[in-house]
Amino acid sequence: MDSLADLPGIAGTARRAGLDVETSVDAPEDLPLGAQATACAVVREALANAARHAGATRALVSVTATEARVRVDVRDSGPSAGWRPHPGTGNGLAVLRERVGLHGGTLTTGPFEDGFRVTADIPLEDAR
């Protein structure tokens, strides 16, 4: 099961796929493991989608936590010049939305500025 300590490796995989990834984590290490694993799944899927749909673009990853919730925010800068999207199965975000929902959270996705944004809010009380 992934934890927030695995985020550098997840970002490294995305960098090897051509993304320019910047990560920011402001969360205690003792978050419930379910919340950490779900946060990592959100980051992994959002970065995979950015690589598939936008190519060598910039992606900003932010994970923050309060006593009540974890918020994951992943934004990409949009398609790189001349990039042709490589669609996947089309199920990734739906499965991710279901996973976040199992913890009582919400997943919001959609266009943002010139790119795309994936945001998850995961309540900690349901993730323990």
Q: Is residue 128 part of a domain?
A: no
In a domain? residue 64: yes
What CA–CA distance (Å, rounded) separates 117 from 109?
Answer: 6
pLDDT reported for residue 128 = 47
Q: How far is CA 70 from CA 18, 20, 66, in A?
A: 27, 24, 7
Q: The whole model's pTM is what?
A: 0.92
DSSP-based three-state secondary structure for 47: helix
* Residues paired with 110 in a beta bridge: 117
Q: How confident is the model at residue 5 (pLDDT cuts 50, 70, 90)?
A: very high
Domain that holds residue 75: 4-123
89 occurs within a structural domain: yes
SS3 content of the chain, % helix, strand, coil (to 5): 35, 30, 35
Mean pLDDT of 87-94: 78
Examine the pLDDT at 21 and tell me if it is beyond 70.
yes
Q: Is 85 exposed, middle or buried (0-12, 13-18, 19+ CB in 10 A)?
A: exposed
Q: Which residue has the higher pLDDT, 127 or 88?
A: 88
Q: Mean pLDDT across the stretch 50-58?
A: 91
Number of domains in the chain: 1
- Say how far apart CA 31 and CA 47 lie, in whole Å: 22
Q: What CATH code is carried by the domain that includes residue 10?
A: 3.30.565.10
What is the pLDDT confidence band of residue 83, given thresholds at 50, 70 and 90?
confident
